[in-house]
A and B are shown apart, each in its own frame.
Chain A
Amino acid sequence: MAEQHDIVLQLKGLTKRFGEFVANDHIDLELRKGEVLALLGENGAGKSTLMNMVFGLYQPEEGEIWVKGQQLTMDTPSVAIEHGIGMVHQHFKLVPPFTVTENIILGMETKKGLRLDKKSAAARIQELSDMYKLNLKPHARIDSISVGMQQRVEIMKILYRGADILIFDEPTAVLTPQEISELLGIFRKLTKEGKSIIVITHKLKEIMEAADRCTVIRRGKVIDTLIVKDTTPQQLAERMVGHNVKLTVDKEDAKPAETMLHVQDIWAKDDSGHDMLKGLSFEVKAGEIVGIAGVDGNGQTELVEAISGMRPTQKGKIQLGSDELTNRNPRDVSEIGVGHIPQDRHKHGLVLDFTIEENSVLKSYFKSPWTKNGIIQSDIIKEETERYVKDYDIRTPGTGVLARSLSGGNQQKIIIAREIERKPRLLIAAQPTRGLDVGAISFVHKQLIAERDAGKGVLLVSFELEEIMNVADRILVIFNGQIVGETTPKQTNEQELGLMMAGKLERGFAHV
C-alpha cells in the first residue's frame, strides 16, 4: 500500500459474475484523495459493472470494498451515498418539468412543517454552484437547459448529498467540445477542493488532458495503472485493446467522379417548428467522403433527416444522381440508393428488442428473398445474418440474441453491415463512432473509406473534429443551418475549423 498517499477508496479482488460470464475478475484498484483516476477500457470490458458495485447497484461475489479505511458492504446505493460516494450516470436521471432545485432535493427534501423548504435548498445550491463554478440557475426548469447544464445538475445532486468521491460514467459522450472543456475545468476545481474523481471513459484525449492516473481494464481484468503524464495516447490505446492500434487512418487520396448527391437551397424545421436549415446547399461526389463539421444543434440532425426522407423540407431540392429525393418517404429514399447510419442507434438504428437477424433486415424485410408472399423467410435471413456476423466481426453468441444484449460497438456493426450490404450509392454516416472504443472506431472508419473506394458517395456528419480531419476528403462547416465554409483536411487545422464552427470565420465557397 502506498502510504504516502491518502487512499479514499480501495477495491480488493472484486469479482462479479453474470451466470458463467465473469464481468469483473479479481479487480484491485485504489483512488487517492484529490486525484482524477481514469478507468479505461473497451466497450464490455467491465468498467461500468465495477463502478456499479462500488455504488451498490450490483453486489460482488468476492472481494472487499474499503472506503476511507473502513470495509463496507454495499447493499444499496444508499450505503454508498452515506459514505460520500456519488455517481453521475451516462443517462441522466432527472425529472424534466421540475426545476434544478426540485431535482436536486428529490428524495431528501427539507421540510418546514408540511411545506417544502425550497428557499433554503436553493440558497445552498447557489452557494455550492458558486464554489465550484457550476453556473447553475436553481430555479430553471430541466427541460429548458442544455445537456451540459443538466449534467452539472447531476454533479450538484451528488455534491449536495455531501459526496467526496465522484464517479462519472462516460461523462463526455453527450457533450459538445465546448462543454467538454468546461467539464474538465470543473474536474480540476473539484479536485482542488479535495474531492476525488473516477472517470469511466474510452476517450484517450480527455484522459491525457484531465486525469492524473489511468487504470486500464481489459476483459474484466486490471491490465495496468499508468501515470498519465508519463504515458502517450498510443500506449494507452495499446494497453486497452491488447495489441497495436493505429490512431490515424490510412487512406489514398480521393478520386471524386460524377456528382452523386445534390442538395440545393433546402429549408427545414425542427420538431418545434423553428427553421433549422436555412437555404443549405452542397454536393457529394462519387468516390469522396464529405465531412460535415459543426457544433451539435446547428442543423446536422435536420439535414440528415431531410435527405433520408424522415423530415419534410419546405423549400429546395435534393437529388441523388438523376433521381428526385425531395420530400420522398424513407422507404423510397432507401430504395433509390441511400444508406443511412443514424446518429442515435438506439432510437432509430435498431429495434433493441429484435434479434440481430430481425435487425439486419430492418430495411429490406419486405423484399424477396427475405419475404415471399408475405411470409418472412427466417432461414435465408439467418444465413445472411451469419455472413454479416463473420464479415463485420460482430461479436455475439449467435444471430438469435437480442440487439439489446450486445455492446455499443457490436450494435453499430449490425447497422453498418445492414446499410452497406444494401449497396447504396450514397452512404450517410451520422456520428457513426459515438460511444465506440478505439478498435471499433477504426473499424467503422475503414468501412467508410472502403465504401468511398468502391465509388460510393459518403456523407459523414460528426461533432468530433478529429474524426472529420482523419476521415473526410472534403470538409464543409455547418453553422446556424447553413454551410459557412469549405476546406480540406490538408488545408486546415483543428483550431481554424473550431473558429469556423463557432461562426467566426468563413472560407471557401469558390464553387457557389
Chain B
Amino acid sequence: MSKMKGLVTRLRQESVWISLLSIVIGLIIGAIVMLVSGYDPLLAYQSLVEKIVGNSYDFGETLRAVVPLIMTGLAVAVAFRAGLFNIGVEGQIVMGSIGALLVGHFVSLPPVIHGIVAMIVGTLVGGLWGMLVAWLKTSRGINEVISCIMLNWCALYISHIVIRTLMEESGTGRSKLIQESASIQLDSLSAWMDGARIHWGFAIAIIAVIGYSFFMNKTKWGYEIRAVGSNRHAAHYAGMKVNSTVLRAFFISGMLGGMVGTFEVLGVFKYVAIAPATSGLGFDGIAVALLGMNTAIGIFFSAILFGALMYGAQGMSFGADVPGEVVRMIISIIIFFTAAPGLLRMFFKLRTRKGRKGANANGNDSVSS
C-alpha cells in the first residue's frame, strides 16, 4: 500500500512530462513543416527568440501579450474546475472593455482612482455577462457552450451599438479615447522599456495567479467549486448548493475575462475598435488552461509560452519570411498532444517495450482487486 503514494506522485509528474514533451514535439513538427515548405527553421526560431527577448521594447511587449493570456487562462480554468466550459470569455472581455471605456471616457475622476473605478466597473460587467450564461444553464438548462458562443456575438454587437451611438470617433471605426486620468499604463516603466505598453495588469495578473491557487485550494468557495465540478451528485448529497456554486464560478470566470477587457482599453489601446470579430484572447485562454492543467503555476507558464510564441511570430515572418501562422500551427500541435496524452503514451510505451521486456505501468493502471 505504501507504494501507492509513489504511483500517485508519478502520475502527477507524468502529466508535466507530457506537457513538456508536447512542446518539444510541436517545435520539431513546426521545423519539419518549415523545412518542407522551403524555409530555414533554425533562422526562424532564432528570429522568434530575438523578437521575444531581443531588446527591452520587445521584451516589454511580450509581457504585454502574456498578461491577458494569464487572465483568460485563469478565467477558463475557474469554470473548468466547476465542471463547465466557458468558451464565452471572448464576450466577457468585450463587455469588460465597454464598461471600462464608458467610465474612462464619460466619468471624470482624479487619476489612479479613475483607472481603478473603470477597472472595477468593467470587471463587474464582465462578471455579470458570465453569470448570465450560468443563469441560463441553472434555470433553463441551456448548455453553456451554446449560450456562450451566442453571447459572444451579442457582446460584440452591443459594443458596436454603444460605440456608434455614444462615442464614435467619426471616420476611424473606433471609439473616442478614454480620458488620460483613467489610464493604467505604467509610464515610467514604459519609458524605461522604450515605449512598450506596460500597465498595472502585469502586477494584477501575478496577484491573480497566486489568488487563484489560494482560492481554489484554501477557501471554502474554492472547495465547493472543485466538489461541484468533480462530482455534482456528491456535492448535492453533501448539502452544497450546486446551482449557486455554478453561478459563482461563472461570475468569477467572467470577472477575470472582463478584467482583460479593461486592461486592453485602459492600459494598451485607450479606445475600443469596432471590430468585425472578437479578439481571440478568450479562445487562447482555453488553450492556456488546457496546457496548464487548470493549475495556477501551469497556467502561468503556459501563458508565458503561448504569449511569447504569438508575439515572437512577428519576428519569424520578418526575420525568416515564415508566415506567422506557423506559430499557430505549433501551438495547435502542442494542444493536440496535451489533450490526447494517449498518443504520446502509446508512442513511448511501444518504445519501452522494444527496449526492455515488459512495459512499465502506464497512467491508466490502477491498483485494484
Contact = CB atoms under 8 A, between A and B. Distances in A.
Contacts of B226: 351, 354
Contacts of B218: 375-376, 378
Contacts of B237: 308, 310, 330, 340, 342, 348-349
Interface centre among A48, A348, A402 (most CB of B within 10 A): A348
Given A42-B369, A375-B218, A352 B239 contact: no
Nearest to B365: A18
Given A21-B7, A331-B239, A362-B238, A396 B369 contact: no
Given A61-B358, A371-B220, A362 B365 contact: no
A45 B217 CA distance: 34
A49 B368 contact: yes
Contacts of A58: 365
Contact of B368 (A352, A395, A407): A407
Interface residues of A, number: 60
A157 interface: no
A363 B237 CA distance: 8
B318 interface: no
Interface stretch (B104-112, B144-152, B228-236, B254-262): B228-236
A200 B238 CA distance: 33
A366 B235 CA distance: 13
B195 to A, nearest CB: 42
A173 B143 CA distance: 35
B221 A21 contact: no
Interface in B213-251: 217-223, 226-227, 230-231, 233-241
A44 B367 contact: yes
B223 A358 contact: yes
B3 A365 contact: no
B345 to A, nearest CB: 14
B231 A347 contact: yes
Contacts of A44: 367-369
Contacts of B234: 347-351, 362
Interface string A20-61: 110100000000000000000111111111000000001111
B6 interface: yes
Interface string A328-363: 011111110000101000011111111000100011
Contact of B220 (A308, A333, A374, A407): A374
Given A374-B219, A401-B8, A352 B231 contact: yes
Nearest to A345: B234
A398 interface: yes
Interface residues of B, number: 37
A397 interface: yes
A373 B201 CA distance: 28
A19 interface: yes
A135 B2 CA distance: 47
A414 to B, nearest CB: 12
B15 to A, nearest CB: 13
A21 B241 CA distance: 40
B338 to A, nearest CB: 19
B326 to A, nearest CB: 37
A405 interface: yes
Contacts of B1: 21, 395-397
A200 B368 CA distance: 13
A376 B4 contact: no
B3 A351 contact: no
Contacts of B358: 59-61
B72 to A, nearest CB: 25
B361 interface: yes
Contacts of B369: 41-49, 200, 407-408
B309 to A, nearest CB: 31
B5 interface: yes
A499 B188 CA distance: 87
Contacts of A396: 1, 4
Given A354-B227, A354-B230, A401-B5, A363 B219 contact: no
B236 A365 contact: no
Contact of B235 (A200, A334, A351, A375): A351
Nearest to B361: A18
A390 to B, nearest CB: 15
A397 B4 CA distance: 7
Contacts of A331: 239-241
Interface centre among B218, B226, B361, B367 (most CB of A within 10 A): B367
Contact of B2 (A47, A310, A354, A397): A397
B365 A330 contact: no
Contacts of B233: 347-348
Contacts of A18: 3, 7, 361, 365-367
A330 B367 contact: no
B351 interface: no
A353 B233 CA distance: 13
Contacts of A48: 368-369
Contacts of A59: 358-359
Nearest to B235: A351
Contact of B361 (A19, A45, A342, A378): A19
A59 B353 CA distance: 10
Interface in B7-61: 7-8, 10
B221 A363 contact: no
Interface centre among B3, B236, B238, B369 (most CB of A within 10 A): B369
Contacts of B2: 397
A156 to B, nearest CB: 26
Nearest to A41: B369
Contacts of B222: 376
A61 to B, nearest CB: 5
A398 B1 CA distance: 10
B236 A362 contact: no
B221 A374 contact: yes
B99 to A, nearest CB: 27
B43 to A, nearest CB: 45
A354 B220 CA distance: 14
A368 to B, nearest CB: 11
Contacts of B8: 401-402, 405
11 contacts: A18-B3, A19-B10, A41-B369, A48-B368, A330-B237, A335-B239, A350-B234, A351-B231, A365-B220, A375-B220, A396-B4
Interface of A: 17-21, 23, 41-49, 58-61, 200, 308-310, 329-335, 340, 342, 347-354, 358, 362-363, 365-366, 371, 374-376, 378, 395-398, 401-402, 404-405, 407-408
The 7 residue pairs across chains A and B that have the minimum distance between CB atoms: A331-B239, A21-B3, A348-B237, A397-B5, A330-B239, A20-B3, A362-B238
Given A365-B223, A374-B221, 19 more contacts: A19-B6, A19-B7, A19-B10, A21-B3, A23-B367, A310-B236, A310-B237, A329-B241, A330-B238, A347-B231, A348-B233, A351-B234, A358-B223, A374-B219, A378-B218, A398-B5, A401-B5, A404-B366, A405-B4
